[in-house]
Amino acid sequence: MLETGKFRFDNIKKWEDVYENFVDKEDVNLLNSTKDGNMLGSTLFGQSWTTQEESDAMWRIYSNTGYVVRVMTVYPLLFHVLVEWMTDHKDTPTTITIDHVYYADENEINEWLLSNSPMNLWAFIELQEEGIFIKRREFEHEKEVRAILRSSKNDKREYIELNFDPHKVFREIVIDPRVSEDEFIRQRDCLVNRGFDMSKIRKSTLYDFKKVTLDIDMSEPCEFPLEYPDKDGNVKKESVFMNGLG
């Protein structure tokens, strides 16, 4: 992205979770109409972000090689990129949505769908929009925020690439916490050589152990609770007071 200045939004049909865009996968009956329910679909392109600054699960899922970085931005910068692209592509009917993902059980999802049926066409369109931002609870660790571009249903592209300035959009780049110091420096210098600000690059400290100092007063008397069985097998409890070794 630093070299090309391209921001990629994949067609969400490529996303692995079978529940992605689940509303468009449901069977639909069009009451009082001769049209086919498949006409109501659309093409969605998306990016997934997280509000979780550090996560063991996310590093291990997305970075099993050590050659993955985490980039950070803020909502206005991301939204501005999408608005600029829409302004330059007025010939492509598109809507933009950036929102948090809500997590629910499968039964909750199905109950929510059926509670809205029957509905009119506009309510169904709203249901489609809401469904994009619902995932199963098993993915809750992601704390996901989605940026979605909705295009016309005949859009066959596998992805859309938007022009953007990563030096303005990315506030920080964080390198995998498991790489060696030498590898961190190599990756950092690689990013700096492509024009990124060194002060905005760091290595994750997720697996760093930070010591604290604990003080033990050895002159302070202390009480030790004891439990032991007596000759009849009953558990006896008593406290033993001991002085420190200072």
Let me know how many helices (H) and strands (E) the chain has, helices first. 6, 12
Locate the domains of the chain by residue range.
Answer: 6-203
Tell the residue number behind the tokens 């550090």, with chain if given. Answer: 54
pTM of this prediction exceeds 0.75: yes
Per-residue pLDDT tens digits of the chain, which is 246 residues long: 999 999 999 998 888 888 888 888 888 888 887 666 555 567 889 999 999 999 999 998 888 777 889 999 999 999 999 999 888 877 775 788 999 999 999 999 999 999 998 988 888 888 988 999 999 999 999 999 999 998 866 778 899 999 999 999 999 999 999 999 999 999 999 999 999 999 999 999 999 999 999 988 877 777 778 777 877 878 877 776 666 555
Per-residue pLDDT, 24: 82
Residue 217, phi then psi, degrees to nearest 5: -85, 105
Q: What is the CA radius of gyration of the chain?
A: 27
**Whole-number Å distance between alpha carbons of 163 and 85:** 7
Please give the structure tokens belonging to residue 127.
């249901």
Check residue 157 and give its pLDDT. 87
Q: Cis peptide leading into 229, omega within 30 of 0? A: no
